[in-house]
Amino acid sequence: MVPAGALPDLAAIYRQHFTYVWHALRRMGVNNADLEDLTQEVFVVVHRRLHTYDATRPLKPWLLGILFRVASDWRRRAFQYRETRPGDVDATDGAASPEQNAADAQNRALIMRALDALDFDRRAVLVMHEFHDHPIPDIAAALGIPVNTAYSRLRLARAQLFETLKKLTRPTEAP
């Protein structure tokens, strides 16, 4: 544990938060092929901006702001395209049956497709709140938006996600 007011060590931040950053970027829509590069980019930014970190505040919301901007920049790049590659499906746990693994993989793919349909700003709030348990005020501070805007984005994202999942799981009509 770092004493209050002291800046944490970059190596310690990396060891402690690598998995969090990796999964958060993945849930923000980053393809598996780009995860390694973008995770590294997040920690490069952390290294560059560590002197601006307020050590009296929690680290995860600060990291959240950085990874949001890195993912946002990645999405804006002109050469970026949406394509599902074989490596984009997460590996499954070997302890479950093959049928359960297949069902889990289908469910993850369905959730990712539904998340892909969301506006990026809404998606960021939803992912950080629902998947990473960040409180809305921390998300708002990390993203530099008013708290009410963050709550609104969360509400709209939930509604859109629900509607998209309904559409994706609706049985197709026979010809």
Residue 84 inside a domain? The answer is: no
Structural element, H or E, at residue 104: helix 98-116
Q: Which residue range is the domain that position 153 belongs to?
A: 98-175
Residue 86 inside a domain? The answer is: no
Rg (Cα) of the chain, in Å, rounded?
18
In the chain, the number of structural domains is 2
Residue 124 inside a domain? The answer is: yes
- Distance CA(133)–CA(35), nearest Å, equals 21
- Distance CA(118)–CA(123), nearest Å, equals 6
- For residue 52, CA distances in Å to 48, 65, 105, 173 come to 9, 13, 40, 57
Q: Looking at the structure, tell me whether residues 63 and 126 fall in a common domain.
A: no
> pTM for the complete prediction?
0.65
- Here the CATH number for the domain that contains residue 175 is 1.10.10.10
Provide the residue-wise pLDDT of the chain in tens; the chain has 175 residues: 445 556 788 999 999 999 999 999 988 888 888 899 999 999 999 999 998 888 888 888 889 889 988 988 888 874 555 554 545 545 544 566 777 777 777 888 888 888 889 998 999 999 989 988 899 999 999 889 999 999 999 999 999 999 999 998 887 655 5
Indicate the residue among 47, 78, 109 that finishes a domain: 78
